[in-house]
Chain A
Amino acid sequence: MEMPVPDAQVISRKPELVARLRRVLPAEAVIDDPAETRAYECDALTAYRCAPLCAVLPSSTHEVSQVLAICHELGVPVVPRGSGTSLAGGALPTADSVILGVARMNAVIETDYANRFIRVQTGRTNLSVSGAVEADGFFYAPDPSSQLACAIAGNIAMNSGGAHCLKYGVTTNNLLGVTLVMMDGEVVEIGGAHLDAGGLDLLGVICGSEGQLGVVTEATLRILPKPEGARPVLVGYDSNEVAGRCVSDIIESGILPVAIEFMDLPCIRATDAFSGAGYPDCEALLIIEVEGSEAEIQEQLAIITAIARRHNPVELRESRSAEESAKIWLGRKSAFGAMGQINDYMCLDGTIPVNTLPFVLGRIADLSREFGLDVANVFHAGDGNMHPLILFNANQSGQLELCEALGAEILKLCVEVGGCLTGEHGVGIEKRDLMLVQYDVGDLEAQMRVKDVFDPRWLLNPAKVFPLAVSAGRRG
């Protein structure tokens, strides 16, 4: 992965930078010992590593503002970091950068049930946002798989989704307001507790901008009342195509389940062996979950199972208890762990139009044979967000490169059928150089204009999202 040549002049000024940072932050909040900065050398995309100049862990918006003002003055690039769970390298440092971690900022500032929002500092983890309101019957809807660890800051940066966004939307649909610290240290309030912010939809473009427009230190998030109950049904088919048609038919029927998850044979076998979920041995498995009161659940499941039966399932398992529900979800929820146990894997997340599902799965199987690497598929079928897992051996020379080449082919396929490179993980460095597959230079130019306005010197997370050649003239 090509990264810009670090600025030697910036590196040479490290002592001055660290001294200035220590003047505005408590001593332990500035980490510059190379033994300790190693903890920040990568995120969950562990194939790429680079230690930063130093890492800072501010405790307030004011401290973030002071840090950014100093870095701005000295011309030092800043890489914002939530919990470091990015699969796309969104928090990968460069050797001349400061890592700005918001992990210490995890307080709940306000909860308001009448107006249905919570305001938090963005270092707070996704799951603990729901945790703060669940005793009162509310939850925060976006639920990325990493929700135990990932921070709201990162969720906003990547516009994270999750398994339940078919019904509840992704981060941008659940974000009401932010406190944004600009690269020069200015603190800006955008939106608030009301539903639609005034003026241009700046909130909409900040969400998903991968930490390149400013550092979001506080967020007002929409919370929702918890449904009375939820129940999954498991359906197995002997072909991906039939399972894909079943998904289409359910959606076309007008029912909107909270989740429709899809697993293919390699994934079913691996997860079943790992978790003992007792899945049927078949080509394709759907887990469809609906919500509501008991009667409402019955009403929806009656329609869904009738559609599912029309397609002759090899198995149709309706849960009759909380234990059975948990067992249906068990395999799906342990899918990534299961794959990790048998192999190294790379997880893609291109999105495709739902109706192209069977075609795309067929083409992925062809590509898998062509490249000689196994691919397991587990994904959110309702919204077309694929998660092909390419299995490879990281210790065998050339395999990572082969795996990346296959990944690129699969993502190109997603774009070809009318989809996109990434549905919820973000571009980061991982898909940066594929951006021209989806957009032409003019389209990217329009996006970069936004960064020019927020961060004219391109100091925030500068080597991400845009192909280096495309952003070269701007990065100084």
Chain B
Amino acid sequence: MRPESEAELSELIRHTETALQIRGGGTRGAFFPAGGAVLETGGLSGVTLYEPAALTLVARAGTPVAEIEALLSEKNQRLAFEPMDHRTLLGTTGTPTIGGVVAANVSGPRRVQVGAARDFLLGVRFVDGEGHIIRNGGRVMKNVTGYDLVKLMAGSWGTLGVLSEVSLKVLAIPQAEATLVLRGQGADACVADMCSALGTPYDVSGAVWIGPGVAGDAPERRIRVEGLRGSVAYRIQRLAETLPGDHSIVEGAESAALWQQVRDVTPFAGQEAPLWRISVKPTDAPLLLAALGRAGVAHKTICDWGGGLVWLMVEGASARAGVVRAEVSALGGHATLVRAPIAQREAVVMFHPQAAPLERIAAGLRARFDPRGILNPGLMGVAAIAEPAA
């Protein structure tokens, strides 16, 4: 099913008798436990408003991200939250859409500096599980008029409604960027350094530790600054003086290429091994890796967001969901299974089970926005599936 307008989308949902799998470009490979008809949003396409001087863009949900980025770059602007393109990592072939980015709250390395996709989302239009067209937020930077369903929709993975239009804040592309690179540092020391870099006034816009055997034998630390040319030169110099180690400085397009690799997690592409995306407090990242090592979970890792986002590739066919989730839970974080062999996908829920009161609230919201349970049923909030212990 591929509606060509919001009205058609609404009619279609109102009259459907089957469950629906909502699909933007189909590049993220969400795990759907149940079947159902595929509902594609690609027919709802096109930028409806772009005001460079107001830093605002409004687009229909099925608009390709590439189309938006091309339009923005003509005015030297961009989506500052640096959304990941999942195609390389997951070997998918579709066209990433802006609605997909928003629905999954996809944010890249710059999240540590500017925030997540949800922080740039100013307004939404969506169709709920009964076919009602709902509007929330708008296209202005500050808006506290009523409840913020905009944030609620970001990251709801289509379970509360199907996005038909999104309104986003955009930012200028800075004049310059530079990255400080250091090789050979272990996770503990590196995360400590990244935390202190992020605690300086030098406005770090990316801080990643790429573990051993991922982008070369030795681990690598990358720290990025962006801005006006003089300011970038000053800040990268100050960081090089402040942080321990013998750094090299990479600039311009070469620096951008390093970060595209981090954004798209390309070192883990072209493989089958299960991959987790784990959110923890940055200083907990080394503790988590050590704990997993002790538990016998062989892994490779990329720690982005200064340590706060751990991409964990587990060696072997098992995702080791029981151990991974137990260790992550012990630290108060959460782990999403991004890639896994089919058998694992059927046995492991994609999203981290939450505390009972949160599951209850989330289930209550889903029941009210989608009373028939037809929108991506079972994708979020299924805690009942037994997970293999280790």
Residues of A within 8 A of B (CB): 112-116, 137-138, 158-159, 161, 165-166, 169-170, 172-173, 182, 186, 188-190, 192-205, 207-209, 225-228, 248-249, 251-256, 292-293, 295-296, 299-300, 303, 351-355, 380, 383-385, 418-427, 431, 435, 438-440, 442-447, 449-454, 465-466
Contacts and interface: CB of A to CB of B under 8 A. Distances in A.
Contacts of A385: 141-142
A194 B152 contact: no
B156 A201 contact: yes
Interface stretch (B29-37, B88-96, B249-257, B355-363): B355-363
A198 B332 contact: no
- Pairs of residues from A and B, 5 with the lowest C-beta to C-beta distance, nearest first: A204-B151, A254-B172, A198-B334, A423-B142, A383-B141
Contact of B305 (A195, A421, A446, A450): A195
A193 B133 contact: no
A420 B143 CA distance: 6
A292 B202 CA distance: 8
B76 interface: yes
B154 A420 contact: no
Contact of A353 (B54, B146, B282, B381): B54
Given A383-B141, A453-B361, A204 B118 contact: yes
Contacts of B138: 418-420, 438
B53 A249 contact: yes
A99 to B, nearest CB: 22
Given A205-B151, A299-B230, A454-B361, A425 B111 contact: no
B141 A351 contact: yes
Nearest to A434: B145
Nearest to B148: A208
Contacts of A444: 146
Contact of A159 (B135, B144, B154): B144
Contact of B195 (A114, A353, A445, A449): A114
A198 B279 contact: yes
B145 A453 contact: no
Contacts of B160: 200
A422 B145 contact: yes
B200 A225 contact: yes
A226 B351 CA distance: 36
Nearest to A176: B281
B54 A161 contact: no
B281 A193 contact: yes
B358 A296 contact: no
Nearest to B332: A192
Contacts of B201: 137, 225-228, 292-293
Given A201-B156, A420-B140, A443-B136, A159 B173 contact: no
B309 interface: yes
B280 interface: yes
Contacts of B361: 188, 200, 202, 453-454
Given A196-B116, A198-B279, A449 B369 contact: yes
B136 A446 contact: yes
A217 to B, nearest CB: 15
Contact of B119 (A169, A292, A452): A169
Given A383-B141, A419-B140, A193 B332 contact: yes
Nearest to A193: B281
Contacts of B53: 248-249, 251-252, 354-355
B50 to A, nearest CB: 11
A199 to B, nearest CB: 5
A199 B383 CA distance: 12
A383 B143 CA distance: 10
Given A205-B148, A438-B145, A351 B357 contact: no
B279 A194 contact: yes
Given A166-B141, A170-B144, A422-B144, 14 more contacts: A115-B281, A198-B333, A200-B152, A253-B172, A254-B173, A254-B175, A353-B56, A384-B140, A384-B142, A424-B144, A427-B144, A435-B146, A439-B145, A454-B361
30 contacts: A158-B144, A172-B151, A192-B332, A195-B116, A195-B309, A196-B279, A199-B381, A200-B362, A204-B152, A205-B152, A208-B144, A209-B147, A252-B75, A254-B76, A293-B231, A295-B230, A295-B234, A299-B230, A351-B143, A352-B140, A354-B55, A419-B140, A420-B145, A422-B143, A431-B145, A446-B128, A447-B136, A447-B146, A451-B147, A452-B368
B142 A439 contact: no
